[in-house]
Chain A
């Protein structure tokens, strides 16, 4: 369910209950093979961020763009594209909320 789904889904190992960003083919913690999709709150905080100004091929038309490492409130990290609506720009510790997953990329925006 990619595209317009507004729920952030990750994988949960049924054996050790570890949470992982998909795809995972076995659990890297316990080698368990039963990984089930679960929905998260989609809320998180910015751990760190940058603005890419020199892009790889395929992204040239998007510069400059913001990328952040987000710590979700369920204590799992992911790398995401960030949409910042404040004039001041992103801040470490700033609250963000999940927008969508598109072509494998997570998009978040500042939540205020």
Chain B
């Protein structure tokens, strides 16, 4: 297998991008990545696009050739959409990675896009919930906030995790996001703001939940031996893993872990030859505050049950031992579902190039964790400065 590097990144801001279509956002992000890579678009040999619910929300399907045509890719280029709920963009990235690693292509464009803000909340909640098994658990009226509320309550019961610890995740990520011009929210919030916000699904409040957002992100991948021709700061992909979990919560053990995350973390560390303590920065899939706590344990950064205490002790702050979500994470930056995985990659690449607005000094190695749906899918990528 050949080495693969990221030579270009591009993104829209995440938020309510009123009047911007999904085609427009994806075109902007791809163009941004192509310019950043300094390649000619005619050099792109394949295009993978991640998206989750464009059919249900905006009645637009067959997105990949639509966007490929919009950015002017050659007609020989296969344009393929991939879907794995919130993991969709990371799956697109991994497909590009695999084809370059296998020697099929040298240069691949990958992207993710989602348009959410134009739909009413009930339709969005139902569409997002459609990644729960609709023959069983999906029929009960369980929602994604509900899924994580069930996990949170069991975690609190088992380990003494507190409401304050959950709220601290939101407070930390909003502080980080206040420095990020791509984030939906730019304001700092307090523990009281979170705890006193509207109850959504007990024990989760409004600020425990990531905001509905529009956005698109993209990256240009290149065989590592060619990367220096285009870029003087390529970032190597040293781990790329996708695992499969369960499409319901009731089937996954004790409701304190996502098995797909545990496995993806383990395999990504094996693939890269690295250990959790080698990682300098992490972008974790904090769709809800308990998710950051549970995932940080499942990835092996903290002992099971200790994730909440790590947040409270400041370990995951930008100046702590393991900065988590210095971008603001999904909670503050926003979660345009099908784009998020490459949004995380965008943020980590900027960190590894020393270009980030909330720069973690000396960051050499970064990890992204992007879970899809009920943990039915999990992707982990490990990136390293070359």
CA distance A65 to B143 in the complex (A): 12
Residues of A within 8 A of B157 (CB): 48, 92
Residues of A within 8 A of B121 (CB): 54
B32 to chain A, nearest CB (A): 34
Establish whether residues B250 and A56, one from each chain, have CB atoms under 8 Å apart when the complex forms.
no
Residues of B within 8 A of A53 (CB): 199-202
Number of B residues near A (Cβ < 8 Å) is 34
Tell me which of A55, A69, A104 has the highest count of chain B C-beta atoms within 10 A of its own C-beta: A69
A105 to chain B, nearest CB (A): 5
B129 to chain A, nearest CB (A): 5
Establish whether residues A48 and B255, one from each chain, have CB atoms under 8 Å apart when the complex forms.
yes
CA distance A105 to B149 in the complex (A): 19
CA distance A103 to B135 in the complex (A): 10
B46 to chain A, nearest CB (A): 34
Contacts A50-B150, A69-B255 given; indicate if A55 touches B136 (C-beta within 8 A).
Answer: no
Establish whether residues B250 and A52, one from each chain, have CB atoms under 8 Å apart when the complex forms.
no
Residues of A within 8 A of B254 (CB): 47
Contact string against A for B residues 189-230, beta-carbon threshold 8 Å, 1 for contact and 0 otherwise: 000000000011111100000000000000000000000000
CA distance A98 to B290 in the complex (A): 30
Contacts A48-B153, A69-B250 given; indicate if A79 touches B140 (C-beta within 8 A).
Answer: yes
Grouping DSSP codes into helix (H, G, I), strand (E, B) and loop, the A interface class, with mixed when no group exceeds half, is strand
List the A residue with the shortest CB-CB distance to B209.
A54
Residues of B within 8 A of A103 (CB): 139
List the B residue with the shortest CB-CB distance to A63.
B141
Q: Is there a chain B Cβ closer than 8 Å to A4's Cβ? A: no
Establish whether residues A79 and B248, one from each chain, have CB atoms under 8 Å apart when the complex forms.
yes
Q: Give 10 nearest A-B pairs by CB, closest first.
A: A56-B126, A50-B149, A48-B154, A57-B122, A59-B141, A104-B139, A56-B125, A77-B250, A79-B250, A79-B137
A-B contact pairs, 24 of them (CB 8 A): A21-B136, A21-B250, A47-B154, A47-B255, A48-B150, A48-B153, A49-B153, A50-B146, A50-B149, A50-B202, A50-B204, A53-B200, A54-B121, A54-B143, A54-B200, A56-B125, A56-B129, A60-B122, A69-B249, A78-B136, A79-B137, A81-B141, A92-B157, A105-B140
B binding-site residues for A, Cβ under 8 Å: 121-123, 125-126, 129, 135-137, 139-143, 145-146, 149-151, 153-154, 157, 199-204, 248-251, 254-255
A binding-site residues for B, Cβ under 8 Å: 21, 23, 47-60, 62, 65, 67-69, 77-81, 92, 103-106
